Structure 1
């Protein structure tokens, strides 16, 4: 899809769908611990396993030296990885993951009006009549207020607007900044005191405080942040009453605390202009390195998991960085996540320029953390929980929940204790709805489950999240490639956890052994070649039909013809009753007798009980039975047209093995990269002026390219052979 639009203040845009589907994060390579290996063979493996994108987190401390200069070694690694991805047809998202601590500088302070100097300061009457504002002696200098001087406000006539006002407040209230305006007050009668807060943009918030006891000092606060979060206050008005009244007020200040006067906040990325300019400058330098790559290959992610005091603060900073990028690259995809650790519930608060359609919204999904970060050492409230957890359903039992500390209980309750696919779908649906409203793509940039979580629950959760994302058409990127959340063996370019990989794979779309995707596939068997449990039932793409070996619990075979030779990277029999002992053979040719030449060495030889991952359903609307995934990933793709499962012994003493579906990942042998007509050309020429230039974009040409034809991609020449 091509669209043309013009972002506000920028160049005209050409918009194409970036189209992310199944990806994985390459964490801990150019970020955080930076302790994993990442090689070309890893990218080739991911491509063989049908991943279509990788996210590369990069830290400021890894990419830039202490003096602010670029780290040449790190940028060389990044460029090399992008070239690997281009070679194996994966897209890349470069994520600025962690900023240095030098984004903090100094502090910001609230005002404290204590009137001990005998001056009213900035407090004045808002009317020339009916209201008096002056400094007075404290009428009761004892108890919670022993100050000698206080502000005295006297209302001498009935009014619903007259009071004492303070201009030039210049405080921005927020849930994580100056949330409360605190004060000590004494009123000569019961009833409400009204506080009016006016923001620079004209927004007004009213807060009331009800005095229950007259002529007594009370320490209290009001909190206008609900309506004014992210907005700067320009004026405060204090109205004693609607009728004549008298009050004394003291120690007026904005505080971060509900229980005290905490009136100083460290300057951070969210409130310090120098830190924000530094952030924008980082992106100018990163852009200078990466803008050479095609727009359909690489995207920029502005910042991983921002934790701004308010969504408004993050939106404003993101807009600054985006504007800087757009000065040179109107067509580059820029990924902008939600505030508060890319929380999915914060996506509805993302605001972006209305006419910029080259933005991708992103969120991270780890709900519930009790499950996904079970016993994770860096999660202080969850690290020491030893009670069992599960998914789906009640994550932790009522009895076990009651044994936890109050802080842990609160953290768990905040996300909810009951989770299932429907709840996951409702949460992710919030992000989808916002993206649709803005006309933008949305992508789950991280999801994953720590390896201390019970295996059945871990795999079920990963599969449900991936399936929900696919149902919504949302790309999803697993955290992580290696480590406690990963599935790849360190330094080996081999899959260490095929079950975890299998939980993310989109078999509906990618299975080459399904008639839904491959009309040429045929199935055969020693037992039940045809009929209700015939061989073809395991390739029909229907999860409620299956092939069965009947009562044959001993040796028998089921095999398929894929129609042509593939480089097979992974197989996963989806059993109803599994073969306790079996072998898998592969062949590329038939013999003179028409039987595939299987050879003598099996590609897979298995003798074990299965139970590592059993589902009672496979997808919505499909009833059930046991679905037992049995994935096998080959260290290197195996060429095969014919694949045979030879049962040697069934897991059942009465029934032979039974197969819902045979699932196979593979790439056609000698599959050439399809060639697409370029839309780039030279900047001064329209696309149609370059009819002879093509790119390796994955779009088929109308005429078959000839050997020796030269094509261009990213400034490089490619020759068709």
Structure 2
């Protein structure tokens, strides 16, 4: 009996030790298991969303046509399709005149409408400062970072917007400070953040703020991002890789041509057609892309957010309608699979009015397969 009891005790002790070792194992799967990161707070939960472009940023229409372009029925449609939020790009030139006065008709009135429609229909909304008079994401450098008086103007712009929108619930609305900041020196962006974040916090302590990563010389400088604080802040980044595929048919990829074969997954462009590409894209055309080749483009931003202790979401991603339908659907399927693997929310580009849109001018879903992939149906 004594021997049997000792054997039983030995077995129990062994099981206990193995369980302790298992609990202390710090190894991780390739994906980011949010459940194991209790120090990463849930600030403003975002799952599946759509950008609403061509309305208050680079608008397609003016006056009543602009008002009719996006209405509460569109918000209802997005909700019914399975999306939970919209990202609404806005331009300074649309909402403020050159004297800094707010434009109400067909500008701020529409902004307030959009927020109210989202509130009424159970959707969240991000107001994204997309283009300002001192910053445009298509520039290689911007006055915001090179002229000494421009950061103060940018701060005042946000103070004005915060005063206008502070009445809305923190659970409904978040602010994205600037779309795709671009500077030759990424420290310039950090310097501006050190001014604008405290200015907004002085007015709205609990508002969720969204911060993107600076792009310098066409490279995203993830490791350079620093913040004055991390409270109630989310990090965001965009995924358009490989750009030769996602922007196929544009002047800056194929020279505007859509007769060059391209496909995904696999080698993007057949060997026989590589010479037809502009010189700068020929090496990319020879590359093989699949889900695993896309993984680094998704994971790098997630890794940086984790290092900073921030929640993260992908604010833009998508392909032009010029991409062959099967390859387009395959790309969306793989990208969404990666987002889901890393438990990362996302906002596709975009809803209506541009080459990436999911509905046509009559609000009819133009690409149901892609919508089903985006919504997980």
Assess same fold via TM > 0.5. Answer: yes
Q: What secondary structure sits across from 1:488 in the alignment? A: coil
**d(CA) in 2 for partners of 1:395, 1:408:** 11
Match of 2:325 in 1: 455
Contact 1:23-1:51 at 8 Å conserved across structures: yes
Q: 1:58 to 1:476 in 2, by over 3 A?
A: same
Match of 1:42 in 2: 74
Residues 202-224 of structure 1 deviation map (CA, whole Å, 9 limit, x = unaligned): xxxxxxxxxxxxxxxxxxxxxxx
Match of 2:22 in 1: none
Deviation at 1:89, TM superposition (A): 0.9
Match of 2:350 in 1: 480
Equivalent residue for 1:392, pick from 253, 265, 290: 265
- Which runs of at least 4 in structure 1 moved beyond 4 Å after TM superposition? 341-345
Match of 2:197 in 1: 322
Match of 1:347 in 2: 222
Match of 2:24 in 1: none
Contact 1:479-1:486 at 8 Å conserved across structures: yes
Residues 266-298 of structure 1 deviation map (CA, whole Å, 9 limit, x = unaligned): x72112121111111111111111111111111
Equivalent residue for 2:364, pick from 488, 494, 507: 494
Match of 1:67 in 2: 99
Deviation at 1:369, TM superposition (A): 1.1
Match of 2:160 in 1: 285
Does residue 364 (structure 1) correspond to residue 225 (structure 2)? The answer is no
Q: 1:385 to 1:451 in 2, by over 3 A?
A: closer
**d(CA) in 1 for partners of 2:155, 2:317:** 27
Match of 1:88 in 2: 121
| Equivalent pairs, count | 328
Alignment TM-score, normalising by the size of structure 2: 0.81
The structure whose residues are more often helix, as a share, is: 2
Q: 1:342 to 1:436 in 2, by over 3 A?
A: farther
Gaps of 5+ in 2: 1-33
**d(CA) in 2 for partners of 1:427, 1:272:** 32
Q: Name the structure, 1 or 2, with higher relative contact order (CA <8 Å, separation 6+).
A: 2
Q: What secondary structure sits across from 1:495 in the alignment? A: coil
Match of 2:212 in 1: 337
Residues 651-691 of structure 1 deviation map (CA, whole Å, 9 limit, x = unaligned): xxxxxxxxxxxxxxxxxxxxxxxxxxxxxxxxxxxxxxxxx
Deviation at 1:380, TM superposition (A): 6.0
Match of 2:278 in 1: 405
Residues 550-582 of structure 1 deviation map (CA, whole Å, 9 limit, x = unaligned): xxxxxxxxxxxxxxxxxxxxxxxxxxxxxxxxx
Match of 1:504 in 2: 374
Residues 231-264 of structure 1 deviation map (CA, whole Å, 9 limit, x = unaligned): xxxxxxxxxxxxxxxxxxxxxxxxxxxxxxxxxx
Match of 1:469 in 2: 339
Equivalent residue for 2:47, pick from 12, 21, 31: 21
Deviation at 1:99, TM superposition (A): 1.2
Alignment TM-score, normalising by the size of structure 1: 0.43
**d(CA) in 2 for partners of 1:474, 1:339:** 20
Q: 1:285 to 1:342 in 2, by over 3 A?
A: farther
Contact 2:305-2:312 at 8 Å conserved across structures: yes
Q: 1:77 to 1:451 in 2, by over 3 A?
A: same
Deviation at 1:383, TM superposition (A): 2.2
Match of 1:156 in 2: none
**d(CA) in 2 for partners of 1:78, 1:19:** 21
Deviation at 1:91, TM superposition (A): 0.7
Q: 1:294 to 1:344 in 2, by over 3 A?
A: farther
Deviation at 1:503, TM superposition (A): 2.0
**d(CA) in 2 for partners of 1:441, 1:342:** 26
Deviation at 1:356, TM superposition (A): 2.3
Residues 445-470 of structure 1 deviation map (CA, whole Å, 9 limit, x = unaligned): 00111011000001111121112111
**d(CA) in 2 for partners of 1:485, 1:405:** 23
Deviation at 1:506, TM superposition (A): 2.0
Deviation at 1:341, TM superposition (A): 8.4
Does residue 100 (structure 1) correspond to residue 100 (structure 2)? The answer is no
**d(CA) in 2 for partners of 1:342, 1:308:** 8
Residues 95-151 of structure 1 deviation map (CA, whole Å, 9 limit, x = unaligned): 0111125x69xxxxxxxxxxxxxxxxxxxxxxxxxxxxxxxxxxxxxxxxxxxxxxx
Gaps of 5+ in 1: 6-14, 105-175, 178-266, 508-721
Contact 1:344-1:428 at 8 Å conserved across structures: no
RMSD: 2.5
Q: What secondary structure sits across from 2:46 in the alignment? A: coil
The structure having more radius of gyration, on CA atoms, is: 1
The structure whose residues are more often strand, as a share, is: 1
Equivalent residue for 1:374, pick from 237, 248, 262: 248
Contact 1:342-1:362 at 8 Å conserved across structures: no
